[in-house]
């Protein structure tokens, strides 16, 4: 699948996606392709991808995150968990959502993070039902207290801080990668969406931030809308440096 990018395909990315009506074989095949597209991204490496980013206006997205990212982790640890080959340690590389750090990771932290295998999950008709009182710039994710910089596969090479809730309660029909490939579970998943029981769950830190980023996509909102609308600095990647953009 080809990922849509701005400015050429801004009009499509601005569309508000429609709820998923049913889960059938065609839809499962689409999810498999969506997941493979996300997993194949390496420059940058992505941690989330919504259906609208590949041109399908349905309320579903995929995430590729280590299972333990609901636990508080330093930006350096997160950087190593989804490491972008060749990226400098001074900013943590996450592709779809990118964090900046001081790069002071110990060998113990690096080895522990390298063992965390990213897991692919799909969220159908997701919604946020509750959240923490105040939003943050993600400074709780970084060792040096600097804002966490988000990026987007549809807006390559641009990054910026975004105010988001650090903890959210959400609701969605959740499918794992195994659900799409296991013959027994696959056949059991061919059902009307109304017959699927939605899962309720709490997300914190990076997982919560990724979830909110992807919900935005389903509503036609891009992270730069927040960055610029909130008066924050937008950055552009130039080789291994981040250049502050002026006059935007």
Residue range 80-112, pLDDT digits in tens: 333 322 333 333 334 455 444 433 332 333 334
* 94-98, 226-230, 233-237: least confidently modelled range: 94-98
173-186 tens-digit pLDDT: 999 988 887 666 55
Residue 200 included in any domain: yes
Residue 209 · residue 97 · CB < 8 Å: yes
Q: How far does the chain reach from its first CA to its final CA, in angstroms?
A: 31
Residue 37 included in any domain: yes
Separation CA 61–CA 91 (nearest Å)? 26
Residue-range definition of the domain harbouring residue 239: 10-244
Number of structural domains the chain divides into: 1
Residue 38 included in any domain: yes
Give the CATH number for residue 34.
Answer: 3.90.45.10
Q: Which of 22-36, 59-73, 150-164 has the highest mean pLDDT?
A: 150-164
Separation CA 63–CA 163 (nearest Å)? 20
* Average pLDDT value for residue range 104-121: 55
């Amino acid at each position: 699948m080809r990922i849509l990018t701005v400015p050429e395909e801004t009009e499509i990315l601005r569309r508000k996606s429609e709820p998923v009506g049913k889960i059938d074989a065609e839809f499962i095949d689409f999810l498999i392709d969506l997941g493979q597209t996300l997993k194949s991204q390496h420059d940058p490496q992505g941690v989330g991808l919504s259906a609208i980013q590949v041109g399908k206006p349905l309320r579903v997205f995929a995430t590729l995150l280590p299972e333990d990212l609901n636990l508080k982790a330093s930006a350096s640890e997160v950087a190593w968990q989804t490491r972008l080959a060749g990226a400098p340690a001074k900013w943590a590389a996450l592709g779809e959502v990118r964090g900046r750090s001081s790069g002071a990771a110990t060998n113990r932290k690096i080895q522990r993070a390298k063992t965390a295998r990213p897991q692919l999950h799909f969220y159908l008709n997701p919604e946020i039902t509750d959240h923490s009182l105040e939003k943050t710039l993600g400074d709780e994710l970084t060792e040096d207290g600097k804002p966490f910089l988000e990026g987007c596969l549809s807006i390559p090479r641009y990054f910026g801080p975004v105010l988001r809730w650090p903890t959210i309660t959400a609701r969605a029909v959740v499918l794992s990668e195994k659900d799409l490939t296991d013959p027994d579970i696959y056949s059991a998943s061919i059902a009307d969406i109304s017959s699927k029981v939605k899962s309720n769950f709490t997300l914190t830190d990076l997982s919560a931030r990724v979830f909110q980023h992807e919900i935005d996509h389903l509503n036609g909102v891009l992270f730069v809308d927040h960055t610029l609308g909130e008066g924050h600095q937008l950055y552009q990647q130039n080789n291994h440096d981040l250049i502050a953009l002026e006059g935007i």
